[in-house]
Amino acid sequence: MTNQSEDVQSFERRSGTYENSFFQGLFFDRIHRNALRPVPAGFQPTSILDIGCGTGRLLRKAAARWPNARLTGVDPAEGMVKEARCRTPGAEFQVSLAESLALPDGYADLAFSTASFHHWQDQQQGVRQIARVLRPGGLFVLVDILMPMGIGKIHPHGRQMSPATVRGIFSQAGLEVQYQRRVMGWFILAMVGRKNKT
C-alpha cells in the first residue's frame, strides 16, 4: 500500500491531463450521477462542499442543479486545485486532506466525496471532519469503490471496508444513514448520511 504522500504525488503528475482522461466519461461521470441522484428533490443547499474534488467536475454538475449555491472544493493535490480553479469560476478551492479540513463548523449543508474515500489514511477522522463542517440536517453523500476481499492488501491505495463498517463510521460521526446501496454493479457503494439536528 502506498503512503499518502506518494498517492498525492501520483495525482500531481496527472493533474494536467486528468480532466481529459477517457475514464472521466466512462467511470467518473457515472459515479457523479450516482452521487447526485439520491439527494432529495426538495433539498436546496446554499453551500456545497466536495472533498477530493479533483478538477472540479462534480462541482460544475452541482452548479447546474443548484445555481445559487456557494461551491467549495478541497483536494490534497495542488495541481488538481489549480486545474479546478481554472475550470470552475466562482467556486472556492483549498489544498487540504479530508482529515484536516480548514473550514468552520456548520460551513456546508451538502458535502460530497466521490472515489476519494479509499485514498484517505484515516477514514474515521475524515468523516468526523465532514460531520463537523456540516450544518445540522445537512447531507453527506459518499460514492466510493468497494474493495473485494483480499484486493485491499495488494491494491496500491485500497483500504478494504465493508458497507456495514462504513455505516458504523457514519453513525459514530453523528450521521444517520438515509440511503445505502451498491451501484454500477457490485463494486461501488453509494451512501447518504444526514447530520443529526441535536
Digit-coded pLDDT (tens) for 144-160: 988 655 555 545 555 56
Give the integer Cα–Cα distance in Å for 77 and 74.
9
Residue 198 is given by DSSP the state -
Rounded to the nearest angstrom, the gap between the alpha carbon of residue 23 and the centroid of all alpha carbons in its chain is: 17
Q: Which residue, among 179, 22, 47, 23, has the nearest Cα to 109 in the 3D structure? A: 47
Query: Can you give the CATH number for the domain in which 173 is found?
Result: 3.40.50.150
> For the chain, how many structural domains are there in total?
1
* Cβ burial, residue 122 (10 Å; 0-12/13-18/19+): middle
Residue 154 has a pLDDT of: 47
Q: What is the mean pLDDT of residues 177-183?
A: 93
Give the integer Cα–Cα distance in Å for 62 and 4.
28
Which domain covers residue 184, as residue numbers? 4-195
Residue 41 has a pLDDT of: 93
The H or E element containing residue 181 is: strand 175-183
Q: What is the mean pLDDT of residues 102-130?
A: 96
Average pLDDT, rounded, for the chain: 88
Q: What is the mean pLDDT of residues 55-69?
A: 96
64: helix, strand or coil? helix
Q: What is the mean pLDDT of residues 121-126?
A: 95
Confidence of residue 39 (pLDDT cuts 50, 70, 90): very high
